Chains A and B, each alone.
Chain A
Amino acid sequence: MDPSDSELIERTLKGDEGAFAELVRRYQSVVWGTVHRVLGNSSENEDAVQEVFLRAFGALGKFDRRYPFGPWVARIATNYCIDQLRRKRSRKVQLWSELREHEQERLLRDLSMERSPAAAGPGVEDSEGYARVARALLDGLNPKYRAAFILREVEDKDYGEVAATLGTSEVAARVRVSRARAELQKRFRAYLRGCGAKEQER
């Protein structure tokens, strides 16, 4: 039988490197997901994942083992990513501008259509293109709004969990998610208008 998280933490605190490796193995996909969604697809993500676990290791002695380890390490990851976004506002993945204009327009129009590409289900064609649109839209959001949106909408956390992860009140978490949704719609329309203007110029 696999040892519990609590046992692994206990062994890690006693100096067992293998136990900590096992703990990282269990939760690294959670951290990879948070890092990727909040920071975008970057070559620096590997360093970010490593830094998150090293911070968790440094604070492991203070971790209250009555609570689950996963949300705790996810909280460290989210806060680390917000810090990184604040420090490096220029860190943006320039994937959007790499697309040709007609591709940009087609992808945007698809996203504004009812149940498309969501209706197509997993393995949807052009998933890479849609991911670029999504990234371009998210990149413009305030880091706090972006993190709140991802926690609520993508990771399906309730507002209590969003608030706990971001270290804020539930009301503030609701406001952040609501503003993120409104801002995304504004940016989405601006992109569509941009494509429309280019279409008229042609």
Chain B
Amino acid sequence: MKHTCALLDLYRDGELDDAGRERFQSHLTGCIDCRSRLRMLDNLVFVLKTEKIQQVDLAARIARRAFEPAPTWDALIASCFRPKPAVAAAVAGVLLFAFLWLLPGNRTVSAYTEYEKLLNEAESSNLAGRLLVQNDSELLLQLAPLEE
């Protein structure tokens, strides 16, 4: 039985001789597996063959694209040096940030560094640190003897 099932592909492809075809057809009456596979394939292939394929006429567009001049090496190199607004804006932004960050009197981060330095100093010299904030941009540390 299984041996005959293996002939399904040959049967479907029309490659069995008359005797083989007759033998397979009589096998089909008793084999639900082969019968259902053939039905499913018939229906599936029919659906795929009759499916409507939506298509657009692309001929003119494709031909235009195909004949567009390919970029030469000169053009590629030149394009690297051509000013690009996004890159220029990013570079300007970075430069501006660096300039503002380096301006004296506006280094909040360094104030904390000073604070940490003084705290370490206080710890090593047995002094307690007291932080005084006078205004938004200024941090002061007063050192006082550590209470026992």
Size class of the A contact interface (CB-based, 8 Å): 35 or more
Chain B contacts for A15, CB-based, 8 A:
67
Known contacts A24-B59, A25-B59, A50-B62: A174-B9 contact under CB 8 Å: yes
| 0 or 1 for each of B53-80: is its CB under 8 Å from A? (1 = yes) | 1111111111111110000000000000
List the A residue with the shortest CB-CB distance to B42. A118
B134 to chain A, nearest CB (A): 60
Q: Determine the distance from Cα of A107 to Cα of B57 in the docked complex, in whole angstroms.
A: 33
Interface residues of B in 7-59 (CB under 8 A from A): 8-9, 12-13, 36-37, 39-59
Q: Are A134 and B44 within 8 A (Cβ)? A: yes
Chain B contacts for A113, CB-based, 8 A:
39, 43
Please report whether the interface of chain B is mostly helix, strand, loop or mixed according to DSSP: helix
Interface residues of B in 115-130 (CB under 8 A from A): none
Q: Interface on A for B, CB 8 Å cutoff?
A: 15, 17-18, 20-22, 24-25, 28-29, 32-33, 36-37, 41, 46, 49-50, 53-54, 57, 110-118, 122, 124, 127, 130-131, 133-134, 137-138, 150, 152-154, 159, 174, 177-178, 181-182, 184-185, 188
Q: Interface on B for A, CB 8 Å cutoff?
A: 8-9, 12-13, 36-37, 39-67
